[in-house]
Amino acid sequence: MNDVYLSIGTNIGEREDNLRLALRLLAEQVTIETVSAVYETAAVGFTDQADFLNIAVHVKTALSPLAMLDVCQAIENELGRVRTIRWGPRVIDLDILLYNNENMNTERLILPHPRMYERAFVLIPLFDVVATQSEQLTKARDIVMQMDANTEGVRHVLQQQSIPSWLK
Protein backbone atom coordinates (compact mmCIF):
# COMPACT_ATOMS: atom_id res chain seq x y z
CA MET A 1 0.00 0.00 0.00
CA ASN A 2 1.11 3.53 -0.76
CA ASP A 3 1.26 6.35 1.79
CA VAL A 4 -0.31 9.47 0.35
CA TYR A 5 -0.70 12.86 2.01
CA LEU A 6 -3.39 15.22 0.76
CA SER A 7 -4.32 18.81 1.46
CA ILE A 8 -8.03 19.69 1.27
CA GLY A 9 -9.35 23.24 1.34
CA THR A 10 -12.63 25.08 0.86
CA ASN A 11 -13.90 28.64 1.04
CA ILE A 12 -17.34 28.58 -0.59
CA GLY A 13 -20.60 27.59 1.05
CA GLU A 14 -20.76 25.44 4.17
CA ARG A 15 -17.03 24.89 4.45
CA GLU A 16 -17.03 22.22 7.17
CA ASP A 17 -19.73 20.29 5.31
CA ASN A 18 -17.63 20.52 2.13
CA LEU A 19 -14.67 18.96 3.96
CA ARG A 20 -16.88 16.25 5.43
CA LEU A 21 -18.39 15.36 2.05
CA ALA A 22 -14.97 15.29 0.37
CA LEU A 23 -13.76 12.88 3.05
CA ARG A 24 -16.80 10.64 2.59
CA LEU A 25 -16.19 10.46 -1.15
CA LEU A 26 -12.48 9.90 -0.60
CA ALA A 27 -13.22 7.03 1.81
CA GLU A 28 -15.07 5.23 -1.00
CA GLN A 29 -11.79 5.03 -2.97
CA VAL A 30 -8.96 4.81 -0.42
CA THR A 31 -8.35 4.01 3.24
CA ILE A 32 -8.26 7.16 5.33
CA GLU A 33 -5.68 6.73 8.09
CA THR A 34 -5.70 10.15 9.78
CA VAL A 35 -7.35 13.55 9.37
CA SER A 36 -5.76 16.69 10.81
CA ALA A 37 -7.39 19.36 12.89
CA VAL A 38 -9.17 22.06 10.88
CA TYR A 39 -7.31 25.31 10.25
CA GLU A 40 -8.69 28.57 8.90
CA THR A 41 -6.47 30.73 6.73
CA ALA A 42 -6.64 33.79 4.55
CA ALA A 43 -6.47 33.20 0.82
CA VAL A 44 -3.09 33.15 -0.91
CA GLY A 45 -2.50 34.52 -4.41
CA PHE A 46 -5.91 35.97 -5.23
CA THR A 47 -6.71 37.51 -1.84
CA ASP A 48 -10.11 39.14 -2.50
CA GLN A 49 -12.10 36.14 -1.30
CA ALA A 50 -13.34 34.42 1.84
CA ASP A 51 -11.03 32.59 4.25
CA PHE A 52 -10.36 28.90 3.71
CA LEU A 53 -10.80 25.91 5.97
CA ASN A 54 -7.90 23.49 5.43
CA ILE A 55 -7.09 19.96 6.53
CA ALA A 56 -4.45 17.39 5.72
CA VAL A 57 -5.25 13.72 5.26
CA HIS A 58 -3.04 10.63 5.33
CA VAL A 59 -4.43 7.83 3.16
CA LYS A 60 -3.30 4.38 2.10
CA THR A 61 -4.04 3.20 -1.40
CA ALA A 62 -3.02 0.76 -4.09
CA LEU A 63 -3.73 3.45 -6.69
CA SER A 64 -0.92 4.88 -8.80
CA PRO A 65 -0.12 8.59 -8.44
CA LEU A 66 -2.08 9.50 -11.59
CA ALA A 67 -5.03 7.31 -10.59
CA MET A 68 -5.01 9.06 -7.20
CA LEU A 69 -5.04 12.41 -9.01
CA ASP A 70 -8.05 11.19 -11.02
CA VAL A 71 -9.87 10.36 -7.76
CA CYS A 72 -9.11 13.80 -6.33
CA GLN A 73 -10.29 15.57 -9.47
CA ALA A 74 -13.44 13.44 -9.67
CA ILE A 75 -14.32 14.45 -6.08
CA GLU A 76 -13.70 18.11 -6.93
CA ASN A 77 -15.96 17.78 -9.98
CA GLU A 78 -18.68 15.97 -8.04
CA LEU A 79 -18.73 18.72 -5.42
CA GLY A 80 -18.99 21.42 -8.08
CA ARG A 81 -15.48 22.81 -8.31
CA VAL A 82 -15.21 25.37 -11.10
CA ARG A 83 -11.78 26.57 -12.20
CA THR A 84 -12.14 30.18 -13.34
CA ILE A 85 -9.55 32.20 -11.40
CA ARG A 86 -6.13 30.80 -10.52
CA TRP A 87 -6.05 30.47 -6.71
CA GLY A 88 -9.63 31.76 -6.72
CA PRO A 89 -12.58 30.76 -4.56
CA ARG A 90 -13.47 27.08 -4.60
CA VAL A 91 -16.00 24.79 -3.08
CA ILE A 92 -13.26 22.18 -2.63
CA ASP A 93 -9.63 21.66 -3.54
CA LEU A 94 -7.80 18.35 -3.13
CA ASP A 95 -4.04 18.40 -3.69
CA ILE A 96 -1.65 15.48 -3.50
CA LEU A 97 1.25 16.67 -1.38
CA LEU A 98 3.32 13.51 -1.11
CA TYR A 99 3.04 10.04 -2.60
CA ASN A 100 5.40 7.73 -0.72
CA ASN A 101 8.86 9.22 -1.24
CA GLU A 102 8.36 9.65 -4.95
CA ASN A 103 9.46 12.52 -7.13
CA MET A 104 7.42 13.03 -10.26
CA ASN A 105 7.21 15.81 -12.80
CA THR A 106 4.65 15.31 -15.54
CA GLU A 107 2.26 17.63 -17.30
CA ARG A 108 -0.56 16.48 -14.98
CA LEU A 109 1.21 15.94 -11.64
CA ILE A 110 4.29 17.17 -9.81
CA LEU A 111 5.39 15.38 -6.64
CA PRO A 112 6.05 16.52 -4.05
CA HIS A 113 3.50 19.31 -4.54
CA PRO A 114 5.51 22.20 -6.02
CA ARG A 115 4.33 24.89 -3.58
CA MET A 116 3.94 22.71 -0.49
CA TYR A 117 7.06 24.02 1.21
CA GLU A 118 5.91 27.65 0.82
CA ARG A 119 2.54 27.31 2.51
CA ALA A 120 1.97 27.23 6.24
CA PHE A 121 -1.68 26.32 5.66
CA VAL A 122 -0.42 23.10 4.07
CA LEU A 123 2.55 22.26 6.32
CA ILE A 124 0.94 22.90 9.70
CA PRO A 125 -2.00 20.49 9.13
CA LEU A 126 0.37 18.02 7.44
CA PHE A 127 2.28 17.50 10.68
CA ASP A 128 -0.96 16.54 12.44
CA VAL A 129 -1.09 13.43 10.24
CA VAL A 130 2.51 12.45 9.43
CA ALA A 131 3.05 8.75 10.01
CA THR A 132 6.19 8.12 7.97
CA GLN A 133 9.63 9.63 7.56
CA SER A 134 11.22 10.73 4.34
CA GLU A 135 13.64 13.29 2.99
CA GLN A 136 10.65 15.32 1.78
CA LEU A 137 9.06 15.30 5.24
CA THR A 138 12.35 16.20 6.92
CA LYS A 139 12.61 19.23 4.63
CA ALA A 140 8.99 20.15 5.40
CA ARG A 141 9.55 19.76 9.14
CA ASP A 142 12.61 22.04 9.01
CA ILE A 143 10.57 24.70 7.21
CA VAL A 144 7.48 24.45 9.45
CA MET A 145 9.65 24.69 12.59
CA GLN A 146 10.70 28.15 11.41
CA MET A 147 7.10 29.29 10.83
CA ASP A 148 4.85 31.07 13.26
CA ALA A 149 1.22 30.06 12.69
CA ASN A 150 -0.09 33.45 13.83
CA THR A 151 2.25 35.38 11.56
CA GLU A 152 1.35 33.06 8.68
CA GLY A 153 -2.37 33.60 9.35
CA VAL A 154 -3.12 29.96 10.20
CA ARG A 155 -5.76 29.69 12.92
CA HIS A 156 -6.68 26.41 14.58
CA VAL A 157 -10.49 26.22 14.56
CA LEU A 158 -11.51 22.61 15.17
CA GLN A 159 -9.76 19.83 17.07
CA GLN A 160 -8.66 16.71 15.31
CA GLN A 161 -11.58 14.28 15.13
CA SER A 162 -11.79 10.55 14.72
CA ILE A 163 -12.35 9.28 11.20
CA PRO A 164 -15.86 7.96 11.99
CA SER A 165 -16.97 11.38 13.25
CA TRP A 166 -15.83 12.96 9.96
CA LEU A 167 -17.75 10.41 7.93
CA LYS A 168 -21.13 10.83 9.69
Catalytic residues, by residue number, are 81, 90, 93, 95
Q: For residues 52 and 41, is the Cβ–Cβ distance under 8 A? A: yes
CA pair distance 157, 168, nearest whole angstrom: 19
Classified as helix, coil or strand, 136 is helix
Judged by DSSP in three states, 40 sits in strand
- What lies within 8 Å, CB to CB, of 167 at 6+ separation is 20, 23, 24, 27
* Residues sharing a CB contact under 8 Å with residue 103, sequence separation 6 or more, in sequence order: 111, 112
Beta strands in 11-102 (DSSP E): 31-35, 38-41, 52-61, 93-99
